[in-house]
Chains A and B, each alone.
Chain A
Amino acid sequence: MRYSLSSLIRNGLTGNRGWPQAWRKAEPKDRYDAVVIGGGGHGLATAYYLAKEHGFNNVAIIEKGWIGGGNTGRNTTNVRSDYMFPESAALYDFSLRLYEDLGRDINFNIMLSQRGWMTLIHDHHQLDAARHKANWLTCNGVDGEIIDAREVARMMPLLNVDGNPRYPVMGAFLQKRGGTIRHDAVAWGYARAADRLGVDIIENCEVLGFEKTGGRIAAVDTSRGRIEAPVFGMAVAGHSTVIADMAGFKLPVTSRCLQAMVSEPLKPLLDHVVISPGTGVYINQTQKGELVMGGVLDLYHSYGQRGTYPTIEKVVTAAVEMFPAFAGMRLMRHWAGIVDIVPDSSPILGATPVGNLFINCGWGTGGFKAIPAGGYMLAHSMATGKAHPLIKEFGLDRFRSNRLVDEGAAAGIAH
């Protein structure tokens, strides 16, 4: 059933009994044409694009827990494409453009709110960097502009611009197309759309190991049985090295804990998304009125989805420093996700040393914004065996030649 105003009215009038399952609870089959490991946003998008763009009609996604339960459901929901290197800008902007049409494409409102992503500028060095960024983005075909302190104050009246803040505000770098998306909707929307195209979404199905012959994977052993396929893809941020270990290759990835938190909901008081390079903290306000805040990574390598308290203190303190009025708000919940940290803060996409296993990992703190592109690219690799032109600089082999794509500065937060 298509989602629309008319279907809402029709079902409302009949007691909402006619809504079908958003996606089937599939039982695993013995064999598929392609298996995607990981039922987060990237994995779900991969399966959707495999079916939609490449005509695969016999695909399975296997997910250890419930779909969208990893970083897809744990992030601060920000999207933007203001990356510096042309290869990054092209990839992230491709993602944002897919997001811009996604609601209509998958017939699911992902609540894309392009409210503007603002990076504050605190000193002359940052101003120079922002000028460079604006020019570079223009050359890359991505929007971005510099606004002055008065405009920043007008857009965010509660931001401390004039009241002697610890880090003075000279202006901001603004990407108007940046903003937020309802994160769960991305997982559910892709799941529903993939399901309609015949993809089996298999939850509570954990990978236990691989059966390899001649440098290729013949089958994957799971908690719900053995599954054969000619081609596999993995998109398991946080646990990339765990799966890579099973498949028998190394990754330059460490798992770190990234925290996020929300305040109690209040009436609208912040319309944009803002990040301060001085404090390292980023904030937006949800439709429900909660402030969503995030900051730096926890200090050490971790697989525990529970963050450490000093980070919470840093983020909340920074939020109050930036917006003194937020002192009167209350921190309601904090949680954590496990992200893949790579030396150059850029993703690893495409081929692996295992012939028929392709990878999508290493998005660091910014994987949510890249879901459509990450899925599209992994699907392309799995379907064609080749790297899409947009990801040729993002292969695992770059760590052998040392041709890194150092996006540390654009990643937004210190790594």
Chain B
Amino acid sequence: MIVIKCPSCHEDRHEEELEYGGEADVVRPTPPDGASDETWTDYLFMRTNTKGVHYEQWCCRAGCGQWFKVARHTVSHEVAEVIRYEDRFAYQKEGGE
């Protein structure tokens, strides 16, 4: 049972109150017309499916309705980092991006 504190409404939310949204930071090619078939279908279908710390999206579905981002270990389910959607994960800041 994963419990995450929503970074928008600051409430502890159990997984039943949340919606899982898959991998975070999958970039939609813009403009789509300019993307090659491979780039576009990578965006559509290919995911890292990380075993380990996975960067992903969740929504405070039963609460404030805001989407946010979480770094979670996909074996232990330990939540290492929770940030607002517009923020960057620590590893991204370190990378200087």
A residues contacting B by CB (< 8 A) are 239, 241-242, 250-255, 299-304, 308-310, 343, 399-400, 402
B35 to chain A, nearest CB (A): 13
Q: Which of A250, A308, A343 contacts B1 (CB 8 A)?
A: A308
Determine if B22 and A301 form an interchain contact, defined as CB atoms under 8 angstroms apart. Answer: yes
CA distance A37 to B15 in the complex (A): 35
Determine if B77 and A302 form an interchain contact, defined as CB atoms under 8 angstroms apart. Answer: yes
The 20 sampled A-B contact pairs (Cβ below 8 Å) are: A241-B51, A250-B42, A251-B49, A254-B49, A300-B20, A301-B23, A302-B75, A302-B77, A303-B51, A304-B74, A304-B75, A304-B76, A308-B1, A308-B15, A310-B15, A343-B44, A399-B44, A399-B46, A400-B41, A402-B44
CB contact under 8 A between A254 and B2, given known A299-B20, A300-B20, A301-B56: no
CA distance A402 to B77 in the complex (A): 33
Please name all residues of chain B whose beta carbon is closer than 8 Å to the beta carbon of A400 when the two chains form the complex. Answer: 37-38, 41
Closest residue of chain B to A344, judged by CB?
B45
User: Which residues of B, 11-41, contact A by the 8 Å Cβ criterion?
Assistant: 15-16, 19-20, 22-23, 37-38, 41
CA distance A144 to B49 in the complex (A): 37
CA distance A242 to B51 in the complex (A): 7
B77 to chain A, nearest CB (A): 6
CB contact under 8 A between A310 and B1, given known A300-B15, A304-B77: yes
B residues contacting A by CB (< 8 A) are 1-2, 15-16, 19-20, 22-23, 37-38, 41-42, 44-49, 51, 54, 56, 74-77
A180 to chain B, nearest CB (A): 30
Please name all residues of chain B whose beta carbon is closer than 8 Å to the beta carbon of A252 when the two chains form the complex. Answer: 45-47
A144 to chain B, nearest CB (A): 31
Closest residue of chain A to B76, judged by CB?
A304
Question: What 13 additional pairs, Cβ within 8 angstroms, besides A301-B23, A304-B74, A308-B2?
Answer: A250-B42, A252-B45, A252-B46, A253-B47, A253-B49, A254-B47, A299-B15, A299-B20, A301-B49, A304-B75, A304-B77, A308-B1, A399-B44
B13 to chain A, nearest CB (A): 13
| Chain B at the A interface: SS class | mixed
CA distance A275 to B68 in the complex (A): 36
A269 to chain B, nearest CB (A): 31
Determine if B1 and A302 form an interchain contact, defined as CB atoms under 8 angstroms apart. Answer: no
CA distance A299 to B16 in the complex (A): 9
CA distance A242 to B76 in the complex (A): 17
B4 to chain A, nearest CB (A): 11
Closest residue of chain A to B52, judged by CB?
A303
B14 to chain A, nearest CB (A): 8
Determine if B42 and A302 form an interchain contact, defined as CB atoms under 8 angstroms apart. Answer: no
Q: Which of B16, B41, B74 contacts A402 (CB 8 A)?
A: B41
CA distance A255 to B56 in the complex (A): 14
CB contact under 8 A between A255 and B51, given known A304-B74, A402-B41: yes
Closest residue of chain B to A342, judged by CB?
B45
Please name all residues of chain B whose beta carbon is closer than 8 Å to the beta carbon of A302 when the two chains form the complex. Answer: 74-75, 77
Q: Which of A255, A308, A343 contacts B74 (CB 8 A)?
A: A255
Q: Which of B16, B23, B56, B77 contacts A310 (CB 8 A)?
A: B16
Determine if B15 and A255 form an interchain contact, defined as CB atoms under 8 angstroms apart. Answer: no
A337 to chain B, nearest CB (A): 14
Closest residue of chain B to A400, judged by CB?
B41
Most chain B CB neighbours (cut-off 10 Å) among A242, A255, A300, A308: A300
CB contact under 8 A between A250 and B46, given known A310-B16, A400-B41: yes
Closest residue of chain A to B58, judged by CB?
A300
Please name all residues of chain A whose beta carbon is closer than 8 Å to the beta carbon of B23 when the two chains form the complex. Answer: 301
CA distance A242 to B75 in the complex (A): 13
CA distance A300 to B50 in the complex (A): 12
A7 to chain B, nearest CB (A): 44
Please name all residues of chain A whose beta carbon is closer than 8 Å to the beta carbon of B51 when the two chains form the complex. Answer: 239, 241-242, 255, 303
CA distance A239 to B51 in the complex (A): 9
A40 to chain B, nearest CB (A): 17
CA distance A308 to B18 in the complex (A): 14
When A and B form their complex, which 9 residue pairs have the shortest distance between CB atoms, in order from nearest? Answer: A252-B45, A300-B20, A241-B49, A250-B46, A399-B45, A303-B51, A303-B75, A303-B74, A304-B75
CA distance A300 to B15 in the complex (A): 9
Please name all residues of chain A whose beta carbon is closer than 8 Å to the beta carbon of B44 when the two chains form the complex. Answer: 343, 399, 402
Please name all residues of chain A whose beta carbon is closer than 8 Å to the beta carbon of B49 when the two chains form the complex. Answer: 241, 251, 253-255, 301
CB contact under 8 A between A254 and B22, given known A300-B15, A301-B54, A400-B37: yes
Closest residue of chain B to A238, judged by CB?
B51
